[in-house]
Amino acid sequence: MSNPKWPPLSRIPRHVAIIMDGNGRWAQARGLPRLAGHRAGTENLRRILQACADFGIEVLTVYAFSTENWSRPEEEVKGLMALLIQYVRHELDSLDRNGVQIRHSGKVEGISPDILHEIERAVERTRHNSKIILNVAFNYGGRAEIVEATRRMIQDGVKPEQVTEALFGQYLYTAGLPDPDLIIRTAGEMRMSNFLLWQAAYAEYYSSPVFWPDFDEAELYKALAEYARRERKFGRVPTAGATPDAEASG
């Protein structure tokens, strides 16, 4: 599937993950409080989600709030929590109507009961939708995810000789989802910031200089076009005559 507004691409990633960076700097450049940038970033998510669906992307994971973000100023954290509740309540009907399946990746411990209720309500209501999956990494940390998965395997009595990469993947927050093919980070940053450390082992990485609130469909297309140009090897030497599509992850 391709977006008729743009030149066709040779291949489209199944799973795109985005580190939505630059909200605060976007606001500061305009003389606005940081929370105004987060609000603009939340509004932009609607546009990018629609663009991903139009391009035929199956899964969009967004890094909404990390386990480290709790250390930000209390006023900013409270504002982010309010924005999350507002987004879910305001957008849920539209997301459900448009076939978006919402998932949550992250720790539930530490999330306030009212926010957790909204998350669980959104996940349950949209669980049978199949247009596109919106996987929200909220209260998420890659290292914490790996530690938690290991603990749960031990609790389940998994023996060392039974441990495989496939089994380990079933204990991650993203169980059942394909690994990300493309990870985009906005605002020109080049760090992974504890995001999908296990799942991103062979993902292609793309850094956009644009702050997240200004990252539009045209910028998304640039990232997808760059992805289509790359040859994915997955640690192997390509066989003669192999095409990029043949190397793509399943």
The pTM assigned to this predicted structure is 0.91
What's residue 66's pLDDT?
A: 93
Catalytic residues: 21, 69
| Tokens encoding 82 | 């309010």
pLDDT bin (cut points 50, 70, 90) of residue 233 is: confident
pLDDT for residue 1 is more than 90 = no
What's residue 246's pLDDT?
A: 41
- Can you tell me whether residue 90 is helix, strand or coil? helix
Q: Chain-centre distance of CA 188, in angstroms?
A: 17
Domain 16-229, CATH: 3.40.1180.10
What phi and psi, each to the nearest 5 degrees, are found at residue 6?
Answer: -130, 155
Nearest CA to 107 out of 136, 145, 74 is that of: 145
Which residues 6+ apart lie within 8 Å of 196 measured at CB?
A: 17, 61, 137, 142, 174, 180, 183, 203
pLDDT digits (tens, 9 = 90+) for 172-201: 999 999 999 999 999 999 999 999 999 999
pLDDT digits (tens, 9 = 90+) for 136-165: 999 999 999 999 999 999 999 999 999 999
pLDDT digits (tens, 9 = 90+) for 16-46: 999 999 999 999 999 999 999 999 999 999 9
Instruction: Kindly state the helix (H) or strand (E) to which residue 42 belongs, with its residue range.
Output: helix 34-55
Q: Considering the chain, what is the average pLDDT of its residues?
A: 92
Distance CA 245, CA 250 (A): 10
User: What does the DSSP 8-state code read for residue 57?
Assistant: -
User: What does the DSSP 8-state code read for residue 241?
Assistant: T
Where along the chain do its domains lie? 16-229
Distance CA 175, CA 38 (A): 29
Task: Please give the span between the terminal C-alpha atoms of the chain, in angstroms, as a whole number.
Answer: 16
pLDDT bin (cut points 50, 70, 90) of residue 249 is: very low
What's residue 237's pLDDT?
A: 67
What's residue 250's pLDDT?
A: 36
What's residue 25's pLDDT?
A: 96
Q: Is the pLDDT higher at 50 or at 234?
A: 50
User: What does the DSSP 8-state code read for residue 238?
Assistant: P
pLDDT digits (tens, 9 = 90+) for 87-123: 999 999 999 999 999 999 999 998 999 999 999 999 9
pLDDT bin (cut points 50, 70, 90) of residue 238 is: low
